Amino acid sequence: MEKAPYAFEEKTLASVNAGSEQDTGAARRTAFCANVFDVMVRLYGEPGIASWCLEAQTRHAVDVPSLLFFALADSDGHGADDGEMQRLLERAGEWRALFVLPLRHLRLTLRQGRRNTAEIEFYEKIKAAELEAERLQVRRLADDFLPLEGPGGLAARYLETISMPEPEAGTLVGRLRDAAKAVCHGFPIMRTEDLKTS
């Protein structure tokens, strides 16, 4: 009979620890979703990443913001099941089709025909609007991604859904993984202060 209170305390402590781990996991995912675009911009600026992504975009219609989002989620240990991932891609694809792609088309058209200062300024405004549309696309992805759970390997699974040939997809995912490590130093999005304030 003496051990009953001790067993209860042990069970309570285990329950508190499990709750703390869940809270920490939720805090890490919240911090990831809150900061992913800023880290994505740093990742895109790493040597070779922009050119590899743009080549994949041109040759295989890769949605670069979604790819980078998934690569960083992989790097930070987050996942989603196949059905939820498909829904993420559909919602991101809607935004991309309505806003990102038309702005990109306009920017590329303007880039070829800039003739004076006013046209150059207009081009820069369209370029900024395209970047903002991509930021909002990532915001939508992050909002939809926040409550999900599931397996990782999201970047590779995304490239598989768009039928990018395996050797190229594997190489691109490997390059993104290496660059994410360089940018994020093994703990990509989560900051210590985010854990302390949660």
pLDDT tens column, 91-137: 999 999 999 999 999 999 998 876 889 989 999 999 999 999 999 99
On whether the CB atoms of residues 48 and 175 are closer than 8 A, the answer is: yes
Mean confidence (pLDDT) of the chain: 84
pLDDT in tens, 151-164: 999 999 999 999 99
Taking 60 as the threshold, does the pLDDT of residue 75 lie above it?
Answer: yes
CA–CA gap between residue 80 and residue 63 (Å, rounded): 18
Q: What is the pLDDT of residue 114?
A: 66
On whether the CB atoms of residues 158 and 66 are closer than 8 A, the answer is: yes
% of the chain surpassing 90 pLDDT: 71
109, 105, 110: which is closest to 123 by C-alpha? Answer: 110
Q: Looking at per-residue confidence, does 197 or 34 come out higher?
A: 34
CA–CA gap between residue 162 and residue 28 (Å, rounded): 29
